[in-house]
Each structure stands twice: as C-alpha cells, then as structure tokens.
Chain A
Amino acid sequence: DAKTTQPNSMESNEEEPVHLPCNHSTISGTDYIHWYRQLPSQGPEYVIHGLTSNVNNRMASLAIAEDRKSSTLILHRATLRDAAVYYCIPYNTNAGKSTFGDGTTLTVKP
C-alpha cells in the first residue's frame, strides 16, 4: 500500500477556504486518490476521488499534483459542519481494500 502523510490537525475560520494537504510519494501510476471524512460519532463518508485531473463535486475540489506525489482537498467555504477528520487514501483497484491512516482533524472556528 502506498504511504500517506497528512498533518495531524488544522484550523480554519468559518466561511473561509480550507486546503487540506496529503503527500503520497510512493503512489503507483494506477492508484486513485480517494478522500473520506469522518464526523464525530459517525462512520467515514466519501468526499471525492481522482486519478490525474483535478476534480470538483458539490462537497469539495481535489487538486492533484502533476507528479501525483501529493494532492490537496479544497473546501471552498468551511462551515461548522465540516469539522471532521479527513482521510486521504491511495486506492489500488487490484488491492480491493482501502487503507486508512490517522487523517487530519479539521477544526472550524466560528
């Protein structure tokens, strides 16, 4: 499994953009990059995924570096409900499983 490095914690002010970084320097060429988040007392929920191109959906944007060794999850306007642990996961379709690290705990201040 490719290893990931994420900051343990980050803080943001409400209604400001948040950029959550992830380093995955050992990612293979066929690994997708998935992001999940886990709100307090809930199971993780899917946020977004991509392979090479930047991706946007209603929850967030994913910016993938050209060399694919890092990616950034972008929340365009953080709300208090975005306070959660965010996990970056390189996913190999042949492996089948998704391996979670310890993620980044995002605190959103009003």
Chain B
Amino acid sequence: DTGVSQDPRHKITKRGQNVTFRCDPISEHNRLYWYRQTLGQGPEFLTYFQNEAQLEKSRLLSDRFSAERPKGSFSTLEIQRTEQGDSAMYLCASSLAAHSSGANVLTFGAGSRLTVL
C-alpha cells in the first residue's frame, strides 16, 4: 500500500471556478477525513466519513463545499464558486476506527494546495 494519495497536488484557479480534489485512502481504512490548513495554522477539520456515510460536517463549512465517498473507498471534495479565502492546503487522512481502543491513528496524505486568483 502506498499510503494516502491526493490529487492534484497543486491547483491554481480563478475566482468563481469550481474545483474538485480526490483522496484515495489506505484500502483497509474505514474512516476518511478532510482538513483545511492555512499558513501558520494547524489543520482545521472539515468533514469525515465512516465507510460511505458522512458522519460529521464542520459548522464553519460553507454550502459551497461538498464531499462524497460513494463506495466507501475514495473521496472527492468539491468547492463551487471559489473565493480567494478558499486558498489553502486541503489535507485528507484515513484511519481504521476501533471502538475498543483509542487508536484511531490518522494517516495523512501530502495535501492538495489550492490557490485562488
């Protein structure tokens, strides 16, 4: 397994355009997370899935953001009508959640950097 893969690694777009990021998690992991990170800040939680179910979405997340994980494997994060404030690193992580332990160790991808002009 090659770990968590994210595509594209870099995206430059003009304000108002739509962008989509893809995340391929570690194959046996049942949870998938999306985070956003801006310079000098820690990763900010956006949403997460357990298998194909989206279990939580940040209240700070605009309606322009939507995420899917249709078959419980890869996930996509779409941002519609991008704004300059959306410029950030978008991080994906996956984990194998086990209620019997506190592990839920997240494995992160390298991220997709978005620049909105």
Q: Which residue of A lies closest to B92 (CB)?
A: A43
Report whether B103 and A49 are in contact in the complex, using a CB–CB cutoff of 8 Å.
yes
Chain A contributes a number of interface residues (CB within 8 A of B) equal to: 22
Report whether A49 and B97 are in contact in the complex, using a CB–CB cutoff of 8 Å.
no
A100 contact from B4, B43, B55, Cβ within 8 A: B43
Q: A96-B97, A98-B104, A99-B45 are in contact. Are A43 and B33 (CB under 8 A)?
A: no
In the complex, how many angstroms separate the beta carbon of B77 from the nearest chain A beta carbon?
15
Q: When chains A and B are docked, how far (Å) is the Cα of A51 from the Cα of B102?
A: 8
Report whether B106 and A93 are in contact in the complex, using a CB–CB cutoff of 8 Å.
no
If over half of A's interface residues share one DSSP class (helix, strand or loop), that class is named, otherwise mixed; here it is loop
Q: Which residue of A lies closest to B109 (CB)?
A: A43
Q: Which residue of A lies closest to B6 (CB)?
A: A43
Report whether A43 and B108 are in contact in the complex, using a CB–CB cutoff of 8 Å.
yes
| A49-83 CB contacts (< 8 Å) to partner B | 49, 51
Report whether B42 and A102 are in contact in the complex, using a CB–CB cutoff of 8 Å.
yes
B107 contact from A46, A49, A97, Cβ within 8 A: A46
Q: Which residue of B lies closest to A1 (CB)?
A: B45
Report whether B108 and A97 are in contact in the complex, using a CB–CB cutoff of 8 Å.
no
Report whether B104 and A93 are in contact in the complex, using a CB–CB cutoff of 8 Å.
yes
Report whether A45 and B108 are in contact in the complex, using a CB–CB cutoff of 8 Å.
yes
Question: Would you list the 4 A-B pairs with minimal beta carbon distance, nearest first?
Answer: A32-B102, A43-B108, A100-B42, A100-B43
| Contacts beyond the supplied A32-B102, A96-B50: 10 A-B pairs with Cβ under 8 Å | A34-B102, A34-B105, A43-B111, A44-B93, A96-B56, A98-B45, A98-B104, A100-B42, A101-B42, A102-B42
